[in-house]
Amino acid sequence: MLYIKARISILLKIKVLLKMNFHEEDNKNQLNTHKTHNLQTYLYTPTLNHQALKDRKVLKLRIPIVNIIGSPLTALPLNDQIKTILEWASNYESKVVCVANVHMLVEAYLCSEFSLVLKHADLVTPDGMPLVWMMKLMGVNTQNRVAGMDILLSLFQLAPQRNVSVFFLGSQEVILQKIKVKLEQEFPHLKIAGMEPLPFPPLTPTKDEVIIQKINTSGAGVVIVSLGCPKQEYWMDQHKGKIKAVMIGLGGAFPVFVGIQKRAPFWMRNLGLEWFYRLIQEPQRLWRRYWNTIPLFLWLALRQFLNSVFLIRRVRIQVERRQSLNDIDLR
């Protein structure tokens, strides 16, 4: 019996460790966090212990995340993330949803202030196949892509069923009018709570308060923010708790939705080549961004994966040693 109990305990610890991600500098800190009953670890544990169950009862719902090069990504499929957004929107909860790609995660890695914005967000969706592939390597086998355009179209289709209205904030007046016309044609049942373009200079406190009141009095459950990364993410983070709606940063989706820019074919998106398709369309604007982010992301992702592999080996060695000790004790 002692051997069986020890074996079960060791296997559970292995599964927990396999789901966790360890930075070289943060190994000790994350291990300490694990010992103090970190909820993120519990969610990946097949059998929850009593402390985890107690914490889950207090929080009622905890969204699973996985760490990729230092940033938390929501480990839920597209449909589940859309359901979560609509549930929050139905209750007018102030939430922040960041749609993350390789560029955003590298920016967060290089800027600690922006990294905190992602860590404070309620959902950080994996927009881009490289992030999905990395999440699967970290153990989230059921993860699929949660792209900005897919979120946008899903909300347009499902929001009327939950009686959720949508407010469009940012972009240009011309683009917003094109969105309105297209929505009236393709999604006539969608309720548009309002549309408000924002200037590039920062708003004064007075004008900012006017925007907040306009959104809150519109009855919007979802606010789609189009200011570009990272400006829109900073804006949403600063207005969490002030705006009573789910804020989603989808700056790049507006031009694609109205046809100003073309979306990559499905086969290119599925192979992780959408960045190349966008580069062909806007080489002067994007080449420097991709040059500064893609190689760095590949290196950081490779290092994280290798660290995970080495961790697994160390755990296996510890398991073998524990088994040997248990065999000796049983004798």
- Per-residue pLDDT tens over the stretch 40-87: 322 333 333 444 334 433 334 578 999 999 999 999 999 999 999 999
Q: Is the pLDDT of residue 167 over 60?
A: yes
The pLDDT of residue 326: 64
Q: Is residue 309 included in any domain, yes or no?
A: no
DSSP E strands: which ranges in 197-258?
A: 222-226, 246-249
Distances (CA, A) of 168 to 108, 227, 249, 322: 26, 11, 11, 58
**pTM for the complete prediction?**
0.75
Q: Which of 301, 264, 262, 287 is nearest to 68 (CA)?
A: 301
Q: Cβ of 202: how many Cβ atoms within 10 Å?
A: 11
The answer as to whether 304 is a domain residue is no
Residue 293 lies in a domain: no
Distance (Å) of CA 50 to CA 9, 31, 42, 56, 280: 14, 19, 10, 10, 54
Domain that residue 156 falls in: 69-281
Domain membership flag for residue 52: no
Q: Is residue 287 part of a domain?
A: no
101 in a structural domain = yes
- Which residues lie across from 99 on neighbouring strands? 125
Q: Is residue 140 part of a domain?
A: yes
Type and span of the H or E element at 217: helix 205-218
Tally of domains in the chain: 1
Instruction: Report whether the peptide linkage leading into residue 46 is cis, meaning its omega lies within 30 degrees of zero.
Output: no
- The answer to whether residue 261 is domain-embedded is yes
